């Protein structure tokens, strides 16, 4: 994914003018840069790129700066959810980086089909290490493997490409099942009439 950027001189309160013009203030920093670089980009262009790349797919900045980056942070307006500012981390395509990759649930579990329980996503992202171009956009969790109320899918059960290493603790649960209260349980909790 490519995103065209321009250098910016505006800082502080002057950044509001950038936003009024449909631009988003940004900064790029990282080990390979001597100092952070202040940038701006067209908001709609960024949103288009973000929908495809998220936080774990490298973005190639072009224009004022030619740099491979990962989106490190995005500040949103708490009321309108409008993008206020962006932080990019400069990366080298020949060096491994770590990133949090979102977990996506796919398929349907037998437990939910039979109305025995409800799937609960305990961990919505997993930290991985890989070369920037090998970072997955998402990690799929196949719910068809959940066949009983006692089933748990752990980090160790996730499948990723050979070039990707999972950094998170292998014993952490990703998906669990919450047992639905049945009629028997609700009758047990109701006091008997005397």
pLDDT tens per residue across span 90-119: 999 999 999 999 999 999 998 888 888 899
Q: Tell me what pLDDT residue 186 has.
A: 45
In sequence order, which residues have a C-beta less than 8 Å from that of residue 39 and are 6 or more positions away?
5, 6, 7, 8, 25, 26, 27, 28, 61, 64, 65, 88
Per-residue b or e along 179-191, where b marks 16 or more CB atoms closer than 10 Å to that residue's CB: eeeeeeeeeeeee
Greatest C-alpha distance within the chain? 82
Please list the residue range(s) of the chain that carry CATH number 2.40.240.10: 2-90
Q: Which of 11-15, 156-160, 171-175 has the lowest mean pLDDT?
A: 11-15
CATH number of 97-185: 2.170.120.20
| pLDDT tens string 116-143 | 889 999 999 999 999 999 999 999 999 9
Assigned CATH topology for domain 2-90: Ribosomal Protein L25; Chain P (2.40.240)
Does pLDDT of 81 surpass 80?
yes
- Looking at every residue in the chain, the average pLDDT score rounds to 91
Nearest to 69 by CA among 105, 101, 26: 26
Please list the residue range(s) of the chain that carry CATH number 2.170.120.20: 97-185
Does pLDDT of 184 surpass 80?
no
Structure tokens at 85: 């500012």
Q: Which residue has the tokens 């047992």?
A: 179
């Amino acid at each position: 994914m490519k995103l065209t950027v321009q250098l910016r001189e505006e800082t502080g309160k002057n950044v509001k003018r950038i936003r009024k013009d449909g631009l988003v203030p940004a900064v790029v920093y990282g080990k390979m840069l001597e100092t952070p670089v202040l940038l701006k980009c067209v908001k709609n262009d960024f949103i288009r790129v973000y929908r495809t790349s998220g936080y774990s797919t490298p973005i190639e900045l072009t224009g004022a700066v030619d740099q491979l980056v990962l989106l490190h942070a995005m500040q949103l307006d708490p009321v309108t959810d409008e993008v206020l500012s962006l932080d990019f981390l400069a990366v080298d395509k020949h060096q491994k980086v770590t990133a949090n990759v979102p977990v996506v649930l796919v398929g349907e579990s037998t437990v939910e089909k039979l109305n025995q329980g409800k799937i609960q996503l305990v961990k919505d992202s997993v930290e991985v290490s890989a070369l920037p171009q090998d970072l997955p956009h998402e990690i799929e969790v196949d719910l068809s493997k959940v066949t009983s109320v006692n089933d748990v899918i752990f980090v160790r059960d996730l499948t990723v490409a050979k070039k990707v290493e999972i950094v998170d603790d292998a014993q952490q649960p990703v998906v669990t099942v919450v047992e639905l209260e049945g009629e028997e349980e609700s009758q047990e909790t109701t006091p008997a009439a005397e």
